[in-house]
């Protein structure tokens, strides 16, 4: 499912830099610009221009403890006798002597940066116009003391143009989503300028008014499909050029290992996005989108679904005496048929991330009741058996005839709580957990509800999925 409303909420709440911070950034930039204009810095200022993510509309909220920034070009006329390093060093000297900025200013290779207590930063890069001929722009490298040709303004125009072709600002939103994916997963490397080029180069003029860009999730699916196809056709690092400056090979930042990893991860996320998009069941689709973007996607809707007694008992919520029937009562009275079909598809349950192996095994789960964690065994337990609180249960995975698997395998357990008590305690879980002894795992019985565990058989050497058990239901009264 596309879940357009959930994407919009996710972007506003988790991905986009909020309006307050954007306003703070804009106000800070204006004050800095005025300070430079009023300074004794010698170059004649022709203009100030934003570039980078700020100018492209693809800036995202930083992770906790991180900074967000604005890239600002100061377009100036050349100064007779100045070397490249002079433009940055003398601008830095001005800020060093300024009462407001002296403790905030730092010099880097191409810019002077104003840092605001780890919250935001402004990178101010002098850009010399017309040093060689009238319409050339050059930034200054103070480390190498060289002028470097830049097409930052033309690049911004190109990015904005690609977004206009896609329409509806969805390309900007997709670029933000992909940068968010990079930053929360932290398992692939791709600088923002290269990511922006990779996205933009897969938007074509013929895409204008195309249904392939009808909304944000559709645009995301289209871009990821095209990007993955491009990468899969190129096992080695491709030459990816700046679209407005062919001599600038942007892909030079990758080595083969980094590129190969990026290629693999894009292929994986493309697969997950296609599955989430195609999924017709709403619960399952939310869960699959969460596999891509994490628990914050449709978070409220996903967690509310755990209060399963309310949703499954509405049709007969009141018994003759006027008492509400929760799911535990229903299972006691009616057994397995009382279980709602959606119980194993609840959206907060983590979807498997392993690729299936070419061969498979049947996985069976048995269980026994214990007095406490690592306590004395009381009895064997069957699925859907009513159990008391404040005991423990040990689950063991084996093959179809009860024989343990060999040491080339491990078992990961998906443990899911449901209903009101676990919801109130913020302990719904639904995640994967390792075995704590061989192919076994112990769990406490703490919350009234119908909970369940599933065993996933994983190959240690190839990290592939070789089998999965049926859910083992634990009814806690």
Mean pLDDT value of segment 107-127: 93
pLDDT over threshold 80, residue 311:
no
State the CB neighbour count (10 A cutoff) for residue 313. 18
| CA distance linking residue 365 with residue 399, whole number of Å | 9
* Helices assigned H by DSSP within 363-432: 420-424
Quick one: which of 258, 259, 253 has its CA closest to 234? 259
Q: Is residue 391 within 8 Å of 370, Cβ to Cβ?
A: yes
Work out the pLDDT band at 313, boundaries 50, 70, 90. low
| CA distance linking residue 99 with residue 1, whole number of Å | 55
DSSP code at position 159:
H
pLDDT for 181 equals 96
DSSP code at position 14:
I
pLDDT for 317 equals 44
pLDDT over threshold 70, residue 315:
no
Helix, strand and coil in the chain, % to nearest 5: 40, 25, 35
More confident: 399 or 119: 399
pLDDT for 314 equals 53
Q: Summarize pLDDT for 340-369 with one digit per residue, the tens.
A: 999 999 999 999 999 999 999 999 999 999
Q: Is residue 166 within 8 Å of 203, Cβ to Cβ?
A: yes
pLDDT for 67 equals 83
| CA distance linking residue 26 with residue 52, whole number of Å | 15
CA dihedral 321, 325, 329, 334 (to 10 degrees): 90
pLDDT for 319 equals 41
Q: Is residue 329 within 8 Å of 308, Cβ to Cβ?
A: no
> What percent of the chain has pLDDT above 70?
97
State the CB neighbour count (10 A cutoff) for residue 441. 22
pLDDT for 306 equals 86
Would strands 364-370 and 245-249 be described as parallel, antiparallel, or unpaired?
A: unpaired
pLDDT over threshold 50, residue 318:
no
pLDDT for 64 equals 80
| CA distance linking residue 74 with residue 43, whole number of Å | 10
Q: Summarize pLDDT for 149-190 with one digit per residue, the tens.
A: 999 999 999 999 999 999 878 999 999 999 999 999 999 999
Would strands 409-416 and 449-459 be described as parallel, antiparallel, or unpaired?
A: antiparallel
Interacting residues of 263 by C-beta distance below 8 A, sequence separation 6+: 231, 232, 234, 235
List the domains of the chain with CATH numbers: 4-150 (3.30.460.90), 155-278 (no CATH), 314-476 (2.60.40.10)
Enter the pTM of the model.
Answer: 0.88
**Residue 40: exposure state from Cβ atoms within 10 A (0-12, 13-18, ≥19):** exposed
Q: Is residue 121 within 8 Å of 67, Cβ to Cβ?
A: yes
Tokens of 151: 């097409």
Mean residue pLDDT across the chain: 94
pLDDT for 312 equals 63
Work out the pLDDT band at 5, boundaries 50, 70, 90. very high
């Amino acid at each position: 499912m596309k879940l357009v409303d959930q994407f919009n909420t996710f972007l506003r709440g988790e991905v986009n830099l909020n309006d307050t911070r954007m306003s703070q950034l804009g106000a800070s930039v204006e004050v800095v610009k005025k300070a430079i204009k009023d300074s004794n810095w010698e170059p004649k200022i022709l203009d100030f221009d934003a570039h980078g993510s700020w100018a492209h509309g693809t800036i995202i909220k930083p992770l906790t403890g991180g900074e967000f920034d604005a890239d600002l070009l100061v377009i100036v006329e050349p100064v007779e006798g100045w070397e490249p390093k002079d433009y940055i060093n003398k601008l830095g000297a001005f800020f060093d002597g300024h009462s407001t900025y002296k403790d905030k200013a730092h010099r880097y290779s191409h810019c002077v940066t104003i840092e605001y207590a780890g919250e935001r930063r402004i990178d101010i890069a002098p850009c010399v116009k017309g040093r060689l001929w009238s319409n050339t722009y050059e930034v200054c490298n103070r480390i190498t003391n060289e002028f470097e040709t830049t097409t930052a303004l033309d690049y911004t125009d190109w990015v904005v143009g690609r977004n206009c072709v896609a329409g509806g600002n969805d390309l900007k939103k997709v670029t933000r989503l992909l940068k968010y994916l990079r930053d929360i997963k932290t398992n692939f490397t791709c600088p923002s300028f290269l990511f922006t080029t990779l996205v933009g180069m897969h938007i074509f003029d013929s895409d204008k008014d195309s249904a392939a860009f009808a909304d944000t999730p559709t645009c995301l699916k289209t871009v990821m499909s095209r990007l993955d196809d491009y990468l899969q056709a190129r096992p080695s690092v491709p030459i990816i050029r700046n679209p407005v400056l062919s001599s600038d090979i942007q892909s030079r930042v990758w080595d083969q290992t980094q590129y190969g990893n990026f290629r693999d991860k894009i292929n994986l996320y493309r697969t997950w996005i296609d599955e989430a998009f195609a999924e017709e069941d709403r619960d399952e689709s939310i869960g699959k989108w969460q596999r891509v973007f994490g628990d914050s996607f449709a978070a409220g809707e996903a967690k509310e679904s755990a209060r399963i007694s309310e949703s499954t008992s509405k049709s007969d919520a009141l018994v003759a005496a006027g008492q509400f029937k929760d799911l535990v009562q229903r299972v006691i009275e009616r057994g397995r048929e009382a279980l709602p079909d959606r119980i194993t598809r609840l959206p907060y349950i983590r979807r498997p991330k392993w690729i299936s192996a070419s061969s498979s095994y049947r996985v069976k789960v048995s269980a026994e009741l214990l007095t406490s964690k690592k306590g004395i065994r009381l009895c064997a337990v069957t699925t859907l058996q009513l159990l008391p609180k404040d005991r423990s249960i040990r689950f063991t995975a084996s093959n179809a005839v009860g024989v343990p698997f060999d040491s080339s395998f491990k078992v990961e357990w998906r443990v899911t709580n449901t209903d009101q008590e676990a919801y109130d305690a913020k302990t719904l879980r639904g995640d994967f957990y390792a075995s704590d002894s061989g192919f076994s795992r112990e769990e406490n019985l703490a919350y009234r509800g119908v909970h369940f565990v599933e065993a996933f058989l994983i190959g240690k050497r190839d990290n592939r999925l070789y089998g999965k058990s049926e859910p083992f239901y634990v009814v806690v009264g």
